[in-house]
Structure 1
Amino acid sequence: MKFKNIFFGFLKTLLLAVIFYSGLLYATGGHMFLDLRNYPYTNNDFRPYFFARDESTGDLIKIPDTQNSFTFKTYDLDLPADMKLYRREVRPILRRWKNEDAPPDTDADLSIDLSGQMETNIALDSKSSREVHVAIYDDNIEAVSYVYDAKQTPEIDTIIANPEGLLEGQTTIVKGGGSALLENIVRSYQEDGIERIQLYAIESEYYAKRGWKMEPEEGACGGPS
């Protein structure tokens, strides 16, 4: 049984969801890759954080988590035991998320939609070398990612954050689960000797600033921009 329960001190956070999906690309999004041979990960530059409300002003206050409390787990869907655990531990979370309510055209709404699509894709896919990665905070799953071709050039098909933490005005909900999960995935593949990973990025500008490259269009000359 293959589990990667890893506790890391470097946790990049982003207030917006870190959400990818191959069939739902914005005009600014696209197919990206990261060369892991030269990937410099950092330590503790952006901690996860909570929001609490100041009783005297009513303002939301950002409270950094200083305990580095995210943990991570990987389910190897080629293994029957891991598939059974995915169905017991992760699938109910995706089903709960897809039944949440959120205003249309928000990050939470997109996360809700992708939760249902991820569950369906995992159930229907016949690919081999598939993995589900999760980020766990305070015993709760806060982000889930589905990866295939995990033993060759891993391709991140979808990564979604808990929609509850993306609702406007929500307090005391941890942020950064999606970003922390992506960092964990990158580092674990790098440690396994993988040289390159791929993703379909909606927030492509954010990741371009952090080393991800856009794939050149088919037939184009020169390297990635």
Structure 2
Amino acid sequence: MKLKNIFVGFLKTLLLITLFCGSLIHAANYMFLILQNYQYTANDFPPYLFEKNFETGQLTKIIDTENAFQFKTYSLASETDIESYTSNVKPVLIKWAEGDELDMGSDASTSSILSLDIIEGVDEDYLPTKEVHVAIYKGKIEAVSYTEDARQAIPEIKTLIANPEGLIEGQTKIVKGGGSSLLNYMLQRFKANNVKRVQLRSIRDKYYLDRGWEKKEETDCSGLIYLDTFQVAFFNSAIFSTGVKYPTAA
């Protein structure tokens, strides 16, 4: 087990360096959103599944119109919430982190590795200014985020991941859309608490730029701890999937 933890730690470090070190591969940018300009609603991010035509191999997106994602927030300022997170959310993250058979470098593998970021963040910080948010579909957690709370001048979304099994290319059994829906939930929550701006770290800017976010470019390696997993581990299988290998935004 100790050897496995060392190996996973090495992979995570390598992933961080690959994604964020300077401009060798990607320029990691801070993205800001002025919430006054945010106009999306929960209806824009419904749960969906893919249905496969076994004759053609084509995937068809099927929106679930009868069910919706539910959300829950755990404040690290509350002992009760911490206990509930430990009982209900942490075991899910531990399971997600055990994705040994996932293809390294895939969205599913990235989400699995970065599940540890949330576990470690909560275990090491226990800061009363931090929160964990979850998206639930039919009683099961499908996305988790770790963020600063609305008391911060410009709250940062530290990490946002979706169920790794739902990110496996071509799968048709696990619901999709949880990451996008959870992001919308957090933004609506910040807006309701009179937060003016929200920030996150991005390597895929177009998704955000198309939705009113602003970019501040930063390409040094000093900010490796700032990791927006929504972009890394979720984007390629988000609700904007078209069924092709690398989906495009609608």
- TM-score tier after normalising by the smaller chain length: 0.7 to 0.9
Q: In 1, Cα distance between the equivalents of 2:93 and 2:150?
A: 21
Q: In 1, Cα distance between the equivalents of 2:215 and 2:187?
A: 17
Q: Contact 1:28 / 1:204 at 8 angstroms: preserved in 2?
A: no
Write the mapping of 1:1-225 to structure 2, written as runs, cut at 5 A: 24-25=19-20, 27-42=26-41, 44-54=43-53, 57-100=56-99, 101-152=101-152, 153-215=154-216
Q: In 2, Cα distance between the equivalents of 1:81 and 1:169?
A: 39
Q: In 1, Cα distance between the equivalents of 2:206 and 2:27?
A: 7
CA displacement at 1:42 relative to structure 2: 4.2
Q: Which moved more, 1:131-140 or 1:35-44?
A: 35-44
Q: Contact 1:22 / 1:200 at 8 angstroms: preserved in 2?
A: no
Q: Which moved more, 1:158-167 or 1:48-57?
A: 48-57
- Once the two structures are superposed, residues 64-98 of structure 1 have per-residue CA deviations (whole angstroms, 9 ceiling, x without a partner) of 11124101110011100000000001100110000
SS in 2 for 1:215: strand
CA displacement at 1:110 relative to structure 2: 0.7
SS in 2 for 1:44: helix
- Once the two structures are superposed, residues 15-43 of structure 1 have per-residue CA deviations (whole angstroms, 9 ceiling, x without a partner) of xxxxxx99853614321111112222246
CA displacement at 1:217 relative to structure 2: 5.6
Question: Which letter maps to 1:88?
Answer: S
Question: Which letter maps to 1:44?
Answer: N
Q: In 1, Cα distance between the equivalents of 2:46 and 2:148?
A: 28
Q: In 1, Cα distance between the equivalents of 2:32 and 2:56?
A: 44
TM-score, normalisation: structure 1: 0.80
Q: In 2, Cα distance between the equivalents of 1:81 and 1:58?
A: 48
Q: In 2, Cα distance between the equivalents of 1:202 and 1:166?
A: 18
Q: In 2, Cα distance between the equivalents of 1:178 and 1:133?
A: 11
Identity %: 46
Question: Which letter maps to 1:35?
Answer: I
Unaligned runs of 5+ in 1: 1-20, 219-225
Structure with the bigger percentage of helix: 2
Q: Contact 1:98 / 1:113 at 8 angstroms: preserved in 2?
A: yes
CA displacement at 1:138 relative to structure 2: 0.8
- Inter-CA distance 148–89: structure 2 relative to 1 (3 Å threshold): same
- Inter-CA distance 129–22: structure 2 relative to 1 (3 Å threshold): farther
- Inter-CA distance 150–45: structure 2 relative to 1 (3 Å threshold): closer
Question: Which letter maps to 1:34?
Answer: L
Q: Contact 1:48 / 1:64 at 8 angstroms: preserved in 2?
A: yes
Question: Which letter maps to 2:180?
Answer: S
**Relative CO higher for 1 or 2, CA cutoff 8 Å, sep ≥ 6?**
1
Unaligned runs of 5+ in 2: 1-14, 220-250
TM-score, normalisation: structure 2: 0.72
Q: Contact 2:36 / 2:196 at 8 angstroms: preserved in 1?
A: yes
CA RMSD of aligned residues (A): 2.3
